[in-house]
Amino acid sequence: MEEKKQTRINKYLSEIGYCSRRGADKLIEAGRVTINGKVPEMGTKISEGDLVAVDGEQVSKTEEGHVYIAFNKPIGIVCTTDTRVEPDNIIDFINFPRRIFPIGRLDKPSEGLIFLTSDGDIVNKILRARNHHEKEYLVSVNYPITKGFLEDMRAGVAILDTVTRPCEVEQIGRFEFKIILTQGLNRQIRRMCEALGYEVQTLQRVRIMNIHLNMPVGEWRDLTAAELKEIDRMTEHSVKTYAPDE
């Protein structure tokens, strides 16, 4: 007798576009997921025919294709899918007709490019820490930029019990610089500047991997087939390690 194919519950929720695997883990830990009416343990597998629900509402795979969006996030909008907790959240702001979630985050005082999608698998690939995917930012600070500041930022700064990965930094004004990161420690740029005696005044993300910011603040667009193909190529060998985002 042929065995039924089984899938881990967090992978299933990711595959059907409900949330990322990391998001699914949080839902499971909070006891908000049930399988056939019972709250599962982390790592529980499901088979075809099992009824999966989140907060009492059954979830299943949609026949529609996945959504991939590039959004220019305004200052003041929070990158969370928990619309119950944060009124100024990214999901309510975009008001997309299908369930989508952000890939990574951009903190509330920051603005610029962020991806949103219904595809949990691409979230995992892009966020894995060792992939060295580039993210480019324009930053202004409260004091004139010095040669020493630029050198220290490029070499790596001690924050959060580690030293940041060497990165590209270019001065573009007396108080402004461009920085390209290949990691995503929590509030990384702000913490790096603070460690060197500076305070970030403005922070805008203008590029993620091969996608450049090219829409007005508060607007979004679909990623093109060519852009998605290149992202798929760039994440082909993603390792299985999660990382936060700026």
Summarised one tens digit per residue, pLDDT across range 185-224 is 899 999 999 999 999 999 999 999 999 999 999 999 999 9
101 and 146 belong to one structural domain: no
133, exposed or middle or buried, with CB in 10 Å at 0-12, 13-18, 19+? buried
User: For position 81, which CATH number holds?
Assistant: 3.30.70.580
Q: Which of 111, 186, 187, 195 is nearest to 153 (CA)?
A: 195
- 138 and 200 in a single domain? The answer is yes
**Rounded Cα distance, 155 and 138, in Å:** 18
Distance CA 244, CA 97 (A): 27
Residue numbers of the domain that contains 196:
134-208
Is residue 151 in a domain? yes
The residue ranking higher by pLDDT, 3 or 57, is 57
Same domain, 40 and 162: no
Query: Would 139 be classed as within a structural domain?
Result: yes
Instruction: Inform me whether the pLDDT recorded for 1 exceeds 60.
Output: no
Whether residue 174 is found in the same domain as residue 154: yes
User: What is the predicted pLDDT for the residue at 197?
Assistant: 97
The confidence band for 153, taking pLDDT boundaries of 50, 70 and 90, is very high
Catalytic residue among 107, 119, 152, 232: 107
Q: Is the residue at 160 inside a domain? A: yes
26 in a domain, yes or no? yes
Q: Are residues 79 and 201 in the same domain?
A: no
Residue 131: the pLDDT is 60
On whether both 143 and 188 belong to a single domain, the answer is yes
Domains of the chain: total: 3
Is residue 189 domain-shared with residue 141, that is, in the same domain?
Answer: yes
Q: Same domain, yes or no, for 201 and 157?
A: yes
State whether 140 and 204 are in the same domain.
Answer: yes
What is the predicted pLDDT for the residue at 132? Answer: 79
Out of 15-19, 44-48, 64-68, 141-145, least confident range = 15-19
Give me the mean pLDDT over the 83-105 stretch: 87
Residue 126, in any domain of the structure: no
107 is catalytic: yes
Q: Does any domain span residue 124?
A: no
Residues 187, 166 share a domain: yes
* Top-confidence residue, 155 or 51: 155
Q: Are residues 225 and 108 in the same domain?
A: yes
Q: Could you tell me the pLDDT band of residue 63, with boundaries at 50, 70 and 90?
A: low
Coil/strand/helix, residue 165: coil
CATH classification at residue 142: 3.30.70.1560
CA-CA distance, 99 to 60, in Å (whole number)? 12
What tens digit of pLDDT does each residue of 113-152 get?
999 998 877 877 787 645 678 999 999 999 999 999 999 9
Tell whether 127 is covered by a domain. Answer: no
Q: Which of 32-41, 77-86, 100-109, 136-145 is the most confident on average? A: 136-145
Instruction: Report how far residue 37's alpha carbon sits from residue 21's, in angstroms, rounded to the nearest whole number.
Output: 21
* Residue whose C-alpha is closest to residue 164's, from 142, 144, 141, 190: 190
Please work out, in degrees rounded to the nearest 5, the angle formed at the alpha carbon of residue 164 by the alpha carbons of 236 and 126: 20
Say if 81 falls within a structural domain.
yes
The CATH number given to whatever domain includes residue 18 is: 3.10.290.10
Contact 238, 129 (CB under 8 A): no
Question: What is the per-residue pLDDT for 170?
Answer: 98
